[in-house]
C-alpha cells in the first residue's frame, strides 16, 4: 500500500466474498467506535442509524453488477462500498476527506478480504490532484441532507459527470423536497407541497428560488402559522424510494422566526391559499422562506 497524498490500495487480483450486510455492519460500527473521534461524530451517528444504513446497503446490493466500477463519494465508514463489493460488484474508488474514516474503510477492507478491489482517496471530492478513471458505472453518494442543504451533493454530481457514461447508475438518482405549513404546536395545517425536484444525472442548477402555494387545511376556522417542515425523499434506479431516517433526510421543522426564515407568525383561515418563497444555495445554509402577499 502506498501513500501519495492519498491512501492507495492497489486493485489487483479479484477477491469475491459474499458477506451478510449485518455482519459487515457490526464490524464497521466497531471500527468506527474504535478509530473515529468526536470531531467526526456525524459519521458515527449516520452509521449507527441501522434502518437507514441497512436500507441503503440493500439498495446498492440489489443493483450491483459483476465487473462494474463504482465511485463512492464521501464514503464515510464505507457501508455502500462494502455492500457493492459483497454483492459481486467490481472495483470501487472510495473518496473520503477524513483520514480517520479512511482508516476505518482500510481496516474493514482487510477484514472482509476486499483490499485488492478498493482504491481509497483520502482527499476532498473536488481535489484536482485526484486522477479518477472515466466510464464509471455506479456513482454512490451519501452526501444527502434535507433539502440538499449542508452537503455538496449537487456540486459533486456536476463535478464528476464527465467521468460517467449514458448507462451510469446514480445512487440516489433523484431527490424530491416538500414544504408543509404548521401551527404553533408544530401540527401540519397544509398538505406537503413539492417545491424542488433534482435528477442527479443532469442537474445544472446550484440553488432553489421558487414559490410554493399551500392550501390551509385545519379543523378550526383559523390557525396561527408558525413553522414550516422541509422534507426530502430519495428515488433510486430500481424505482425504490426512501424518506425520513433518523440521520438522513430527516424531517426538518423550522420555527418561522428562526433559522434565517424571514416569515413572521400570521393568522390563516381554513381553505386559504398561502404562497411561500423558498430560497437557498444547494450545499449551504441558511434557507430563507418568506410569505408572498
Domains by residue range for the chain, with CATH: 2-142 (3.40.50.150), 175-292 (2.70.160.11)
Predicted confidence at residue 186, as pLDDT, reads 84
Predicted confidence at residue 52, as pLDDT, reads 87
Cβ atoms 136, 268 nearer than 8 A: no
Predicted confidence at residue 169, as pLDDT, reads 98
Predicted confidence at residue 12, as pLDDT, reads 38
CA pair distance 94, 12, nearest whole angstrom: 16
User: What pairs with residue 182 in β-bridges?
Assistant: 188, 227
pLDDT along the chain (293 residues), means of 10: 36 57 93 84 81 92 96 96 96 95 96 96 92 94 86 95 96 94 90 97 97 95 90 91 73 48 78 95 89 88
Count of CB atoms situated within 10 Å of the CB of 38:
7
Q: What is the pTM of this model?
A: 0.88
Pairing of strands 136-141, 118-121: unpaired
Q: Please tell me the number of Cα atoms within 13 Å of 45 on its side-chain side.
A: 10
Q: Phi and psi (nearest 5°) for 12?
A: -130, -120
- Provide the strand spans (E) within the chain: 2-3, 7-8, 70-73, 92-95, 118-121, 136-141, 164-171, 174-183, 193-199, 207-215, 222-235, 241-242, 252-255, 266-269, 273-281, 288-292
Amino acid at each position: 500500500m502506498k501513500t501519495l497524498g492519498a491512501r492507495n490500495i492497489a486493485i489487483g487480483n479479484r477477491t469475491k466474498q459474499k458477506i451478510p450486510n449485518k455482519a459487515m455492519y457490526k464490524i464497521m460500527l466497531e471500527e468506527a467506535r474504535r478509530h473515529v473521534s468526536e470531531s467526526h461524530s456525524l459519521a458515527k451517528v449516520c452509521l449507527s442509524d441501522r434502518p437507514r444504513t441497512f436500507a441503503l446497503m440493500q439498495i446498492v446490493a440489489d443493483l450491483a453488477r459483476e465487473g462494474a466500477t463504482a465511485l463512492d463519494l464521501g464514503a464515510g465508514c464505507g457501508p455502500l462500498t462494502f455492500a457493492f463489493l459483497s454483492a459481486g460488484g467490481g472495483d470501487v474508488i472510495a473518496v473520503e476527506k477524513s483520514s480517520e474514516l479512511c482508516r476505518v474503510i482500510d481496516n474493514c477492507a482487510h477484514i472482509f478480504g476486499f483490499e485488492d478491489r478498493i482504491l481509497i482517496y483520502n482527499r476532498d471530492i473536488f481535489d484536482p490532484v485526484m486522477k479518477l478513471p472515466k466510464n464509471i458505472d455506479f456513482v454512490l453518494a451519501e452526501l444527502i441532507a434535507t433539502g440538499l442543504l449542508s452537503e455538496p451533493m449537487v456540486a459533486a454530481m456536476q463535478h464528476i459527470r464527465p467521468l460517467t457514461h449514458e448507462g451510469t447508475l446514480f445512487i440516489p438518482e433523484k431527490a424530491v423536497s416538500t414544504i408543509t405549513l404548521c401551527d404553533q404546536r408544530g401540527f401540519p395545517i397544509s398538505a406537503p407541497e413539492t417545491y424542488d425536484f433534482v435528477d442527479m444525472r443532469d442537474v445544472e442548477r446550484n440553488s432553489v428560488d421558487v414559490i410554493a402555494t399551500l392550501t390551509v387545511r385545519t379543523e378550526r376556522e383559523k390557525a396561527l402559522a408558525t413553522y414550516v417542515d422541509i422534507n426530502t425523499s430519495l428515488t433510486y434506479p430500481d424505482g425504490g424510494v426512501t424518506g425520513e431516517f433518523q440521520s438522513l433526510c430527516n424531517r426538518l421543522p423550522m420555527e418561522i422566526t428562526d433559522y434565517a426564515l424571514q416569515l413572521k407568525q400570521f393568522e390563516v383561515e381554513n381553505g386559504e391559499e398561502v404562497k411561500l418563497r423558498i430560497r437557498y444555495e444547494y450545499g449551504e445554509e441558511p434557507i430563507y422562506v418568506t410569505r408572498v402577499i
